[in-house]
Amino acid sequence: MTEQELNILIHKQLTGQASPAENEQFEAWLTSDGANPGYFQKMAEIWATAENLDLTVQPETDAEWEKLHQKVSTIQPASKPSAKIIRMGTAWRLAAAAAVVLGVALWWLLGRGDAGLIEPMNFAAASGKIENITLPDGTLVALNAGSTLEALQGFGGDDRRVKLSGEAYFQVKSNRSKPFLVDANGATVRVVGTEFNVRAYPGSQSVTASVAEGKVEFFTSEQNKVQLTPGMEGIFEKTSGKITARQVDANAVAAWRQGKLVFDNVPLVEALDILGRHYGISVKIEGNIAGKQLFSTFENETLEEILKTLELTYDLNLTVKNDTLLVRNK
Amino acid sequence: MATHQNIELFEQLFRRYQPGLVAFANTFTRSPEDAREVVQEVFISVWQNVENLRADDNLKSYLFTATRNKSLNFLAKKKLQTVDAEPVVVERHHSTHNEGASDAGELESIIFDEVQRLPEKCREIFILSRQEGLSYKEIAERLDVSPKTVENQIGIALSRLKKAVDDYRQDRGKFSVRQMMWLLTFF
């Protein structure tokens, strides 16, 4: 159970919206670990505290800042740092030094993530939505539906490290002295500046990295590593731990960014999972669909049309009820 | 003479904390206009006294405490001006928000701040569930989204709130007054 699912389960308890099955699931979770009652208690406390907040107040931040800005520009600090008279000739050097120091300070603020001034760097794309993100180093990330990205160590160290759960397309800002690393469900991608796609859904049997531009290292250790060039895809099989490489259609790999669903030899189980994330529904598989692979591209089709196609191709019964896709053999 | 304090960083600081602080001040003042005024005063005193602040205080906690004190002062002054004003208000807030028993008040303010910072849809869904007591289905109908979306957004909201509370309590990655002073005066 993910933290997200757990919190929903707890929320159902707190609001009395749990089904009998969910009640059982909750009880089982509560007693399965000594730390769990504490977790629940904390959530209950947060929930109770949130009840009385008056959240309707308008802060009018822009107008207020204008007011404050005017006021403080006429105020001298009570005790001010000693002022030095600067000759014009050295002014440019000081300006350059100040720019460097400001850069360091911003890096430091960003590097501290939760420090307060800057948003913590956790990103999530909701079901059915693609999020476009710019990281502090200028790297662009398209985050596919139902995926999360976390910037680890806030980019403060010797490298730029992110953790991906789900799928994302990276356009990494080149920086030779600070490699960019993606931790993806057990495998790691290392680049200095390039474009590539990573698919690492927690429920999937494999993690893949596909390269559109530049050179990419895909590895679990120094001994278990492949070098990927444009048009290649590295595949990490979670069960065997093996990493292999193959040629793929580079355009197809990132077609999801245009809202297309491209399945190029993808196990049907995983394809259904991706469909679920794309359309914001959960998937329940009751039939046996092991060993079935999907080769299909969907562009403007509705969910109903896609399901119809799959039903006919694989001789399945696919029905959607209460936001759940039920998969049965015919 | 131009000030040696960095106005851009001060602006960032203001934009980051002002919404949460206004909402917090409003729990005392019961008037958004007064609340905004109180928060102006808080930031003016930060700007003026940057060097005299207690350096090891946690910044967030410092700002909330300052806002609480300024709000109470504001109410006391107002009470002097209009003798008829409800005197109970100050008393009651004194007892729930005093220094010793501050955890409830601080917890409230941390949650407050984080709720304000949730993405708009997520915030709306959270408020409909928490404050209006609507079910997933009712929220879904009202906002024209699926019940699954409502559940997911609630899950996101709770994760973020828990993280904000944990970070605050565990003293993790916090930004102290000293660090703010360093930033505001260094340039």
B 50-79 residues inside an 8 A Cβ radius of A: 50-52, 59-60
Three-class secondary structure of residue A323 per DSSP: coil
Is the CB of A120 less than 8 angstroms away from the CB of B185?
no
Is the CB of A73 less than 8 angstroms away from the CB of B12?
no
What would the two tokens of residue A243 be? 């990493």
Q: Give CA separation, B3 vs A74, A98, A130, B6, B47, in Å.
A: 9, 15, 44, 8, 10
Per-residue pLDDT of chain A (330 residues; tens, 9 = 90+): 888 899 999 999 999 999 999 999 999 999 998 889 889 988 998 998 888 777 777 889 999 999 999 888 776 554 444 333 334 445 555 555 555 555 555 544 444 433 333 344 678 887 777 888 888 788 889 998 888 888 865 566 678 888 899 999 999 988 888 889 999 988 999 997 788 999 998 877 889 999 988 889 999 988 899 999 888 999 999 888 899 998 887 777 778 888 888 887 788 888 888 888 888 888 888 888 888 888 888 887 788 888 888 888 788 899 988 888 999 988
A53 φψ region: left (φ > 0), alpha (ψ -120 to 50), beta (else): beta
Matching residue, tokens 């969907």: A298
Judged by a CB distance cut-off of 8 A, whether residue B147 touches chain A is yes
Counting every residue written for chain A, the total comes to: 330
Q: Could you tell me which chain A residue has the CA closest to the CA of B131?
A: A51
In this prediction, residue A111 carries a pLDDT of 40
| Cα–Cα distance for residue pair A297/A313, rounded to 1 Å | 14
| Cα–Cα distance for residue pair A273/A204, rounded to 1 Å | 8
Closest CA to A120 of A147, A145, A142, A153: A153
Is the CB of A59 less than 8 angstroms away from the CB of B18?
yes
What would the two tokens of residue A231 be? 């048009």
Is the CB of B175 less than 8 angstroms away from the CB of A117?
yes
In this prediction, residue A153 carries a pLDDT of 54
Q: Give the domains, in start order, of chain A with CATH numbers.
A: 3-50 (no CATH), 122-253 (2.60.120.1440), 260-329 (3.55.50.30)
Q: What is the H or E stretch that residue A285 is in?
A: strand A282-285
What would the two tokens of residue A275 be? 């469909």
Counting every residue written for chain B, the total comes to: 187
Angle of helix B59-81 relative to helix B32-49, nearest 10 degrees, comes to 120
Please, which residues bridge with residue A134 across strands? A140
In this prediction, residue B88 carries a pLDDT of 40
In this prediction, residue A238 carries a pLDDT of 87
Q: Could you tell me which chain A residue has the CA closest to the CA of B166?
A: A42
In this prediction, residue A184 carries a pLDDT of 92
Judged by a CB distance cut-off of 8 A, whether residue B22 touches chain A is yes
Is the CB of B3 less than 8 angstroms away from the CB of A76?
yes
What would the two tokens of residue A12 be? 């159902």
Rounded to 5 degrees, φ, ψ at B155 are -60, -45
What would the two tokens of residue B165 be? 């509370």
pLDDT digits (tens, 9 = 90+) for A79-92: 444 333 334 445 55
Q: Where are the domains of chain B?
A: 7-118+172-186
Say which of A7, A52, A58 has its CB closest to residue B32.
A58
Which residues in chain A are contacts of B130 at CB distance < 8 A?
47, 50-51
Please, which residues bridge with residue A210 across strands? A197, A233
In this prediction, residue B43 carries a pLDDT of 92
In this prediction, residue B98 carries a pLDDT of 38
Say which of B26, B154, B172 has its CB closest to residue A54.
B26
Mean pLDDT per 10-residue interval, chain B, length 187 residues:
61 85 85 93 85 63 84 84 48 36 63 84 91 92 91 92 83 57 57
Which residues in chain B are contacts of A65 at CB distance < 8 A?
11, 14-15, 18
Q: Which one of B6, B159, B171 would you mutate to disrupt binding with A, by most A Cβ within 10 Å of its Cβ?
A: B159
- Please check whether residue A244 is in contact with residue A227, taking contact to mean a CB–CB distance below 8 angstroms: no
- Please check whether residue A213 is in contact with residue A205, taking contact to mean a CB–CB distance below 8 angstroms: no
Say which of B127, B136, B186 has its CB closest to residue A101.
B186
Beta-carbon contacts of B182 under 8 Å, excluding residues fewer than 6 positions away, are none
